[in-house]
A = this chain, B = another copy of it.
Amino acid sequence: MNSLTSFAPRTGEVLGELTATSPAELDRACWAAAGVFEQWRLSSAEQRATLLRALATAVEQDREALVALADSETALGLPRLNGELDRTAFQLRHFADIAERGDPFAFIDAPATAGAPPKGHPAMQRWSIPLGPVAMFSASNFPFAFSVLGGDTASALAAGCSVVVKAHPGHLLLSQRMLSLVQSVLEAQQLPPALIGMVQGHGQAIGMQLVNHPAMAAVAFTGSTRGGMALGAAAAARPRPIPFFGELGSINPVLALPQKLAVEGAALAQQLAGSIGLGCGQFCTSPGVLVLVDDPLLAPDAVAVNDLFVQQLRQALQEQSPHAMLTQGMRTAFEAGVDHWVQTGAQLLLRESAPIAQPPRPVLAQVEAQHFIDAPPLREEVFGPACLVLRATDTEMAQRVLQAVGGSLTVTLWGFDEASHQAHSLVRVAMHTAGRVLFGGVPTGVAVNKAQQHGGPWPSSTRPDSTSVGDAALLRFLRPVSVQQAPEWVRAGAGQLV
């Protein structure tokens, strides 16, 4: 268990050997993060911004080596990885700006009000204070943007928290190189190395030890529903429970009305196939379900329109050549997931054979919507380039499909340009199913801005009131505290004192 190996997904070649973090080393890293937290929570907005910007610059300056290393370990390809590095630097600077503006730390002032309660009250202020050291679990599928210096780390640092990163076993060498960059920047700024610590290991034990460590104050996790459920349960069962912000699996339904497909079907099929195949389907927002409504009341030739769209989608998928998956385990799980669909009654429309050592071929399958509603296994995420087409007889059944999904990071609605009673109903159900509802485009591609919400109802996340992307991601790591009749020296300290 003490040795870790980095493999090249394309070839299976061994890229390097590393040593797993021992339990004693993890313990030290966590206590060190707790010690540094006491210092970092007193840091000024300027210090936080300066660190985040220096990290962004360091990542950009090492771009060539980082992207090459990331590509060898993940096979995600240079264009995508360069784009992801851009996004990572953008996020670091974005949270630097937020820390500097200070909006999340703005306090609410309720000056003393004369008179008896309930109206009268002493002087009060409501502050936001950082939670403490954050355990941050890197994701396999975003080696930059959801890893060592990803959005979770950037937002936690901006909030005033220290971080212990659990490196993902899928890109260990990259994580090590990132950590070296981090340490150079911290040293140059005379900040302690434990502000951004890192541990690495295989299997559940190391993650469990990290979540259960008494020094940890919160967990940010991006990964599978199964892994997130286990770690989330551990976070809740600690002697002192801590919040677990888990972004888990999601099947991201796309609901397309026939009147839209009748006009734009050919282009939309291309766009959707691109989204399904993007990054070999290894995105949390990859569209795994397509809902088509065979209702002649919506379009007289609805069935034919939908049949044609499925044909166009099949064709567009067939023309794709997905790259290698992140790990051999994911590659195997992908085939097993598609098998599971078939065993549960789905009919294959496209599945070309590909050796298990090669990248997968895109998969398209189809099933009656009612069967999808009745059979929970069809609602499990198949991570990879696969989409399940559901044929619904009317919008009422489409609505029940969304209700059966229950929770998803995204729901995409095509053909809702005009208001109608049915459109209202479906939009409402989509809102209750998703963290983000799209009325155009495809769900892959998650913008980093103040209006983003990346986190939907269970099972797509453990805390649908929070987001792991966008400005509000920082709020996960703050907690309100009221001060009452505080003396001037305390009030003056506001954000800094605590």
User: Which A residues are closer than 8 A to B by beta carbons?
Assistant: 38, 83, 86-87, 90-91, 108-110, 113, 117-119, 121-122, 124-127, 129, 132, 233, 236, 240-241, 243, 406-407, 416-419, 423-424, 427-428, 431-432, 434-441, 445, 447-453, 457-459, 462, 464-465, 467, 470, 472, 478-487, 489-490, 497-498
Residues A441 and B489 in contact in the complex (CB < 8 Å), given A406-B240, A451-B482, A480-B472: no
Residues A441 and B485 in contact in the complex (CB < 8 Å), given A427-B490, A450-B108, A497-B428: yes
Quick check: B440 and A464 within 8 Å, CB to CB? no
A438 CA to B125 CA in the complex, in Å? 11
Please, could you name 5 A-B residue pairs with CB atoms under 8 Å apart, sorted by A?
A108-B451, A126-B451, A241-B462, A436-B481, A439-B484
A365 CA to B416 CA in the complex, in Å? 69
Quick check: A441 and B122 within 8 Å, CB to CB? yes
Quick check: A497 and B427 within 8 Å, CB to CB? yes
**Min CB distance, A237 to chain B, in Å?**
9
Quick check: B447 and A118 within 8 Å, CB to CB? yes
Quick check: A110 and B451 within 8 Å, CB to CB? yes
A61 CA to B431 CA in the complex, in Å? 40
**Min CB distance, A109 to chain B, in Å?**
7
A439 CA to B125 CA in the complex, in Å? 12
Residues A243 and B465 in contact in the complex (CB < 8 Å), given A118-B91, A451-B110: yes
Q: Which of B113, B127, B441, B478 contacts A484 (CB 8 A)?
A: B441
Q: Of all chain B residues, which has the CB nearest A233?
A: B236
A110 CA to B452 CA in the complex, in Å? 9
Contacts beyond the supplied A129-B431, A451-B482: 12 A-B pairs with Cβ under 8 Å = A87-B117, A110-B452, A118-B448, A122-B441, A126-B452, A241-B462, A416-B487, A427-B497, A434-B481, A435-B482, A436-B482, A437-B482
Q: Which of B126, B418, B427 contacts A453 (CB 8 A)?
A: B126
Q: Which of B132, B243, B484 contacts A436 (CB 8 A)?
A: B484
Which of A118, A435, A459 has the most chain B CB atoms inside 10 A of its CB?
Answer: A118
Quick check: B439 and A490 within 8 Å, CB to CB? yes
A108 CA to B453 CA in the complex, in Å? 11
Residues A484 and B108 in contact in the complex (CB < 8 Å), given A87-B117, A416-B490, A447-B118: no
**Min CB distance, A373 to chain B, in Å?**
15
Q: Which residues of B contact A436 (CB under 8 A)?
A: 481-484
**Min CB distance, A119 to chain B, in Å?**
7
